[in-house]
Amino acid sequence: MSNFKQIDFIKEIYFNRMGGTENEKKAADIIIEKVRSLGGTATYEPFEVDYFDIDEASLCVLSGKKDYYINVTGYGRTGCTPKDGIEAPFMYAGGGSDLELEGCEGKIVFVNGIHHDLYKKLLDKKAAGFLTFDGSIFDDKNKTDLAVRAIKKNTAELGELPGLLMRAADALKLVKDMPKTVKIKLQQRNVTLTSGNVVAEIPGTEIENEKMAFTAHYDSTRYSKGAWDNASGCANLMSLYSYYIKNRPMRTVRFIWCGSEELGLLGSKAYVKAHKDELDEFVLGMNIDMTGTIIGNDIACVSGDDAIKAFMQFCAAEIAFPVSVSTGVFPSDSTPFAHAGVPFVIFQRGGQGGMHSRNDIITALSEESLRRTTEYIRFTSERMLNSKKFPAPRNIPQNIKEELDRYCK
């Protein structure tokens, strides 16, 4: 394997890199420059991001004794209330079953979480708005941040239903108090941001019509510096690039550092859309999302044929690398490719990494842990790339196709 120092590269992009921001572009430029320093070239492929700005979000509990406010964030893409807000009866509906939602018309409904089908139910039953929560009742407000969340674009197309998000501890108090009435305000605007994918390619020495893709997202969530999620995967990818540029395989390798994964897999979706005419050339892809934790365990999830799973297990045994290999669908940049017909494997190392929070810090990672995972990916991918005949069919089983359809709807 190469002598590329992965922790040092993580340090270079160890700052908040939320999708569509100047800092995300700064990280992209660092990746491009690093590729250049290794003797290659990389291009930046921009794409538009439909996002939102929350101008106002508030929740007032009208207790009948002493009104009080709860700190909230607005739920993106759910629309707006009138300027002076919506005052309506409060209702707790738990998991949002039909029984729990009985009589919710005209009410502001508290649910334990929101998803496409429940959002549609609330609209159909003519709720006035919804409330939900994030985190744990044990969160320290001084050490954690209240998330900003959004429904998916296809969910937003169902219609507007203003929603707010609060901390779990505040949710507990609210449901305990069970007020008769609450008042919500939400004002937000649609905005267009620019994100981008960084793409570099190493041409194969013999087989031109078969390629393998390597992907990792380089953006972070709003409050995180994203060491584990996913500067680690970016470093794995750069280490692989540094190896393959000096050891060109028989098949072509394309490296894609994806933007705005945390905003809904937008970079991989944009790449698949922009390069749809080339996708038939890809026999396999490998996605890396969160590795390097000192305490943890490695997994590989195959969105593809069982032969790929068997190959991954065989290679792991050959080099005595402990990894749990399964088949299925994983919520990362592998999924848009697999949904478009390209078999993909995602690699991850779980553990104490502080995902999606200010606690995603570099001290949870080690060079040795990063190196071990990268070496496994290098070993398996190089054997595939240099096989006279590719060792697995370009096939996605029907059960995985159905799972992909459900995830991507």
Each domain of the chain, given as residue ranges in start order, spans 6-50+193-408, 65-179
Please check the confidence at residue 140 and state whether its pLDDT lies above 90. Answer: yes
Confidence of residue 25 (pLDDT cuts 50, 70, 90): very high
> What pLDDT shows up at residue 208?
82
Spatial contact of 283 and 228, defined as CB atoms under 8 Å apart: no
pLDDT tens across 99-121, in order?
A: 999 999 999 999 999 999 999 99
CB-based contacts of 311, cutoff 8 Å, min separation 6 = 380, 384, 391, 392
Burial of 363 (0-12, 13-18, 19+ CB in 10 A): exposed
Is residue 272 scored above 90 in pLDDT?
Answer: yes
CATH 3.40.630.10 fits 6-50+193-408, yes or no: yes
Would you tell me how many other CB atoms lie within 10 Å of the CB of residue 55? 12
Cα(182)–Cα(63) distance, rounded to whole angstroms? 8
Same-fold call for 6-50+193-408 versus 65-179: no
pLDDT tier at 333 (50, 70, 90 boundaries)? very high
Measured CA angle at 55 (ends 49, 56), to 5 deg: 135
Task: Find, among 130, 128, 95, 123, the residue nearest to 109 by Cα.
Answer: 130
pLDDT at 40: 99
Give the pLDDT score at 352: 76
Q: What percent of the chain has pLDDT over 90?
A: 96
Average pLDDT over every residue of 344-351: 96
Peptide bond into 209 cis (omega under 30): no
pTM of the model: 0.95
- pLDDT reading at 148 higher than 80: yes
For the chain, what is the mean pLDDT?
97
Fold of 65-179: Glucose Oxidase; domain 1 (3.50.30)
Answer whether residue 1 shows pLDDT above 80: no
Q: Is 264 helix (H, G, I), strand (E, B) or coil?
A: coil
Give the helix, strand, coil percentages of the chain, each rounded to 5: 35, 30, 40
**Measuring CA to CA, which residue among 161, 158, 65 is closest to residue 106?**
161
